Structure 1
Amino acid sequence: MTERGSQEPGPGSGAGGTEESGPSVRPQGPGPIGGDIAKILYGLGERFRIPALSARHDSTNVMGLFALVNGVISIAIMSAAAVVTGQALIFPSLGPTAFLLFYTPTVPAASPRNTICGHAIGAAAGYLALVVFGLTQAAPALATEVTWPRVGAAAMSLGLTSGLMVWLRVPHPPAGATTLIVSLGILTEPVELLVLMLAVFLLVVQGYVINHLAGIRYPLWAPSRPPS
């Protein structure tokens, strides 16, 4: 029988009467700046048992640091492979693809299917434009001057890439940069285009590994269909 005026400790109170904080809750929906970085950070904190990371998963400073480090690692891996192989495994449109894979990995545009098919369409459309306008052996536009055939090739490549990605339902915005890289003459040899696709594949593999370590449902190929 308890004395009058005394209080029994309520649920969640410790022996000293202080309230204990429960475990952090897995975030749902977009983070404070949109995207899935908060979810990725929470998942990595849980996976590798780093409570401080799980607790601060929605801190803008921590999310920015993650984006910085991950961007450095992504391109550093490609750069090292480029030095070892002597092949052009680095090109500008890899940057926006990397950001997409780690900022919004659950959107359809970031899926492996859209990423690989989008860049393949961009490379093929760019090369076709070079053939049509007789520019396969021409110097890059940035090294000389922009000519009317080059204008036609750039316009044709971007138009084809945009249309085909929509018709085939594989939109991937960075592919628009890939097709211009080809049609402007920066990468023109078929072997360079194969190396370009290898770089895209390696980046997708990295995205798959990081997102799955974080518990993100990143697809193996096609994006998951939303529930009806």
Structure 2
Amino acid sequence: MRARNFRVAPAGPQSGRLFRLVAFFARFQLRMVLRTTAHMGLVLGLFVGSAAVTSLVILTLGAYAVRLPFLFPPLGPSAFVLFHTPMSDRACPRNVLLSHSLSVLCGVGILRAVEWTGLGSVSASPEAFRTMWLASVVLSLGASVAVMLALDCVHPPAAASALIAAMGYVSNPAQIIGFICAVVLLTANAVFFNRVLGGLPYPLWRADPRLVRSYGVLAGIPSAGTGYWQELAATMITERRGS
């Protein structure tokens, strides 16, 4: 009988060095660690703290390199939202980019409108100046909230962007460009940390509602399923039905 020639099947991708290297580091991703650890709060705290600090350091180095202002107070709360509840709708890149950009433009636009009236200039009486300055701050906050709700791009820290713009801290084109670039850079850091180091399906633009509902704490959903305000509303509805 003739000996049959058996072909050896080529080695699959799982036997390659690159696959083994990726599999090794995947064990240290946030998604995998949370499945095995009994200290979820500690792990999340370390991840959020290290990611937020690293992102702000990158913003500082970027500002120094291009000579543009990158560090603004609203970016601190945004970093917390991006890394503490990355799977929530309010942490998706679309909401972060649109809300901050539109809010700072609202603040600058309203401040310019107040200055155009002449009542917000330093030449006006102190009472009129303080009144119009306060009006610009209040109007900019209301406008930013209205825009975020109208375009469905809610990101709470962005409301502070309208305030700092209305107060004159972001006014010239270089500062506006620097602020928007800082938001873009922070969002890019969130994509890297959450997708690569976290192993999470962090969205590249919009949040997927199905993923939001299935990620619990990482999506800002309390572990018990309802938060304080939801429980309070349910209690009030029950009391009204019983009365």
TM-score by length of 2: 0.66
Which residues of 2 match residues 187-198 of structure 1 at below 5 A? 187-198=170-181
Q: Quick check: 2:99–2:155 contact (8 Å CA) kept in 1?
A: yes
Name the residue aligned to 1:226: 210
Which residues of 2 match residues 74-89 of structure 1 at below 5 A? 74-89=55-70
Q: State the Cα deviation string for residues 143-201 of structure 1 (Å, max 9, x = none).
A: xxx81121011011000000110011111101101110100111111221111011100
| Count of residues in Structure 1 that have an aligned counterpart in Structure 2 | 179
How much does 1:226 deviate? 3.3
Name the residue aligned to 1:215: 199
Name the residue aligned to 1:10: none
Which residues of 2 match residues 110-149 of structure 1 at below 5 A? 110-134=91-115, 147-149=130-132
Residue number among 94, 97, 101 corresponding to 2:78 in the alignment: 97
> Quick check: 1:175 aligned with 2:158?
yes
Seen in structure 2, the aligned counterparts of structure 1 residues 63 and 223 have a Cα distance that, compared at 3 Å, is: closer
The sequence identity of aligned pairs, in percent, is 29
Name the residue aligned to 1:22: none
Q: Quick check: 1:138–1:185 contact (8 Å CA) kept in 2?
A: no
Q: Quick check: 2:44–2:84 contact (8 Å CA) kept in 1?
A: no
How much does 1:138 deviate? 6.3
Q: Quick check: 1:126–1:179 contact (8 Å CA) kept in 2?
A: yes
AA aligned opposite 1:117? L
Q: State the Cα deviation string for residues 185-225 of structure 1 (Å, max 9, x = none).
A: 11111221111011100111111111112221111111113
Seen in structure 2, the aligned counterparts of structure 1 residues 123 and 50 have a Cα distance that, compared at 3 Å, is: closer
Residue number among 2, 27, 37 corresponding to 1:49 in the alignment: 27
Q: Quick check: 1:127–1:182 contact (8 Å CA) kept in 2?
A: yes
AA aligned opposite 2:187? V
Q: Which moved more, 1:195-204 or 1:82-91?
A: 82-91
AA aligned opposite 1:226? R
TM-score by length of 1: 0.70
Seen in structure 2, the aligned counterparts of structure 1 residues 222 and 60 have a Cα distance that, compared at 3 Å, is: closer
Q: Quick check: 1:93–1:174 contact (8 Å CA) kept in 2?
A: yes
AA aligned opposite 2:181? L
3-state SS, counterpart of residue 209 of structure 2: coil
Seen in structure 2, the aligned counterparts of structure 1 residues 60 and 224 have a Cα distance that, compared at 3 Å, is: closer
Distance 1:207 1:104 in 2: 11
Structure 2 unpaired stretches of 5+: 1-21, 123-128, 214-243
Seen in structure 2, the aligned counterparts of structure 1 residues 61 and 138 have a Cα distance that, compared at 3 Å, is: farther
Q: Quick check: 2:164–2:170 contact (8 Å CA) kept in 1?
A: yes
More helix by share: 2
Distance 1:71 1:57 in 2: 23
